[in-house]
Each structure stands twice: as structure tokens, then as C-alpha cells.
Amino acid sequence: MGAPGRQGASRREGCRDASSGSPYAVGVTDQADGPGAETLEVERKYEAGVELRLPDAEAFRAAGFEAGAPVVQQLSARYFDTPEGDLARRGFAVRSRHGGKDAGWHMKQRTEGGNRELLWPHGDEMPAELRREIEARIGVSPDRLVPIAALETRRTTVVLRHDGREVVELADDRVRAREGATGVRRAWREWEAELLPGAGIGADAADPEGAALLDRVEAVLLAAGATPSLSFAKIARATGQLVAVARAKGASEELLAALQRLDASDQRAARSLEP
């Protein structure tokens, strides 16, 4: 991502988390008041029924991988945008995440080569540098951002090694989401296969070595019963925007209908989990 803006004075301006009714600051802090660490996220998503089990170590070994021990994490994330959806319209997402290896403030940009992401350490308030990135890249004031969704995820991860290198992280996510503006709840389960830095891939998802590794993992996941997901981002799914985004891109009526069924299924799944 581009060069960061200049540092500025610290000030705090709170807003209220529409998903829970508790204060959730999106003001500014001088904590980690510098450029965010940048990463490139190259991954594939899959739908996984609640009854499916992650493939075992033997299944991955047959595909040329050594699977590490599963690690379970609890993640809590809040996503922010303007009421008009300025960030989403430009392919950006801003979130604050608790738990997991990348807890903190994130700014993600969706590109054809993968998701480019800036990360700042966790804090109750939005880092000053992130505010400046939002102003520079989106052209809107961070003061206009409001909570648009809350996600709770139980994540089980398995790291796959190939030729002695950690190359792919497989995540089994069980997600519960609540849309901020409407309170609509959704729930789903998805598997994600993400390339790790040890894979030695090139600059983006078009890298042939990285694609070949993901192809081999995909074969194992499909054999286990998973199917490629129509969802490109958790936040779009959590806010019911998959159909709108696909329609804006000129998607076929068949795809739009499939996305509508997916959203209806997510809402039914959430209702089934209610006490």
C-alpha cells in the first residue's frame, strides 16, 4: 500500500457499537502511530457443512503435505464503514479484531492478486495512522465510520508443510455474525486455505507455484465434502451484500439466485442457534 500520511495530534471521538449497545471507540490514539505492517493474503474459501470433519493427517500426507496439530482460537471482530458504504464500494474493509495471531486493527484492500492488508497492534481506539490511511485512500473522514457488523468466530487452524516449509494454513471457521444497521443475524461454516510466507510464492495469486499448492490442498478438501464458496469476504456475507456486489459486477441471474439462497441459508442457520 502507499506511503503513510503525516503524523498528527491525538484526539478521541467515540461512537456506539450498534451490534451490542456498548461504547466502541473509533477515535484516534498515538499507540503504534506509524505505518502498518503490510501483508498479502492469498486464499481460497470453501463451504463446509456442519457435519464435515477436517481431513486427517493421512489425507494430506497422500497429497504431499505434513499436517501440524490443530489449534483452536476464539476471534471477535468489529467492522466499520460509512453509512453509505464508501469503503466497501472501493474494495476496502476496516476492522478491529481480538484473539488470534493477527489481533489488532486491519485495513484490507481487495485486489485481483489477493487481499493487501495493513495491520496495527490492538488498541481500544483506532490508530492515528490508520485514520490518515482512510482519508488518503478513501477520501472520507474517519469520523464518519460506524460499526456495521460484529463477528464471533471459532477457528481451528492446521498448518501444512511441504518439503520442510510451512506453506499453507487451513482454517476451519464457524462464524456467527450480526449486522449493525438491521440486527440481522447470520451463521455459517467455511474452510479457508491461505498461502504462508514460507511457500516462497511471487507477488500475487497468479504465482504458479502458489496456485499449484492451493490446487493440491483443494483436491483434499473437495474429497472431504467441501465445495468452493461463492463468498469472497466475510464482511460482505455478514452484511448481506454478496448479491448487491455480484449484481453490480454484472453477474448472471443463476449466480444471483445462488447467492440469495446462500444468504437465506445463513439466516436460517443463525435462527437455529438461538436459544
pLDDT in tens, 14-48: 233 333 333 233 333 344 455 567 777 889 999 99
Quote the domain boundaries for residue 117: 14-273
Question: pLDDT at residue 6 above 60?
Answer: no
pLDDT for the residue 275: 77
pLDDT for the residue 31: 43
In a domain, 260, yes or no: yes
* Radius of gyration for the chain, computed over Cα atoms and rounded to the nearest angstrom: 19
Residue type at 204 in one-letter notation: D
In a domain, 4, yes or no: no
In a domain, 172, yes or no: yes
pLDDT for the residue 104: 96
pLDDT for the residue 36: 60
Question: pLDDT at residue 253 above 50?
Answer: yes
Could you give phi then psi for residue 262, rounded to 5 degrees? -65, -45
* Nearest alpha carbon to residue 41 among 114, 145, 142: 114
Cell numbers for 252: 448472471
pLDDT for the residue 205: 53
Could you give phi then psi for residue 223, rounded to 5 degrees? -65, -25
In a domain, 89, yes or no: yes
* Nearest alpha carbon to residue 65 among 195, 197, 231, 213: 213
Task: Report the phi/psi class of residue 43: left, alpha or beta, with left for phi > 0 and alpha for psi in -120 to 50.
Answer: beta
Question: pLDDT at residue 210 above 90?
Answer: no
Q: 227 forms bridges with which residues in the sheet?
A: 47
In a domain, 5, yes or no: no
The residue-averaged pLDDT of 151-175 equals 96
Mean pLDDT of the chain: 85
How many structural domains compose the chain?
1
Cell numbers for 131: 485514520
CATH number, domain of 162, equals: 2.40.320.10
pLDDT for the residue 15: 32
Let me know how long the chain is: 275
In a domain, 6, yes or no: no
In a domain, 3, yes or no: no
Could you give phi then psi for residue 186, rounded to 5 degrees? -140, 155
In a domain, 154, yes or no: yes
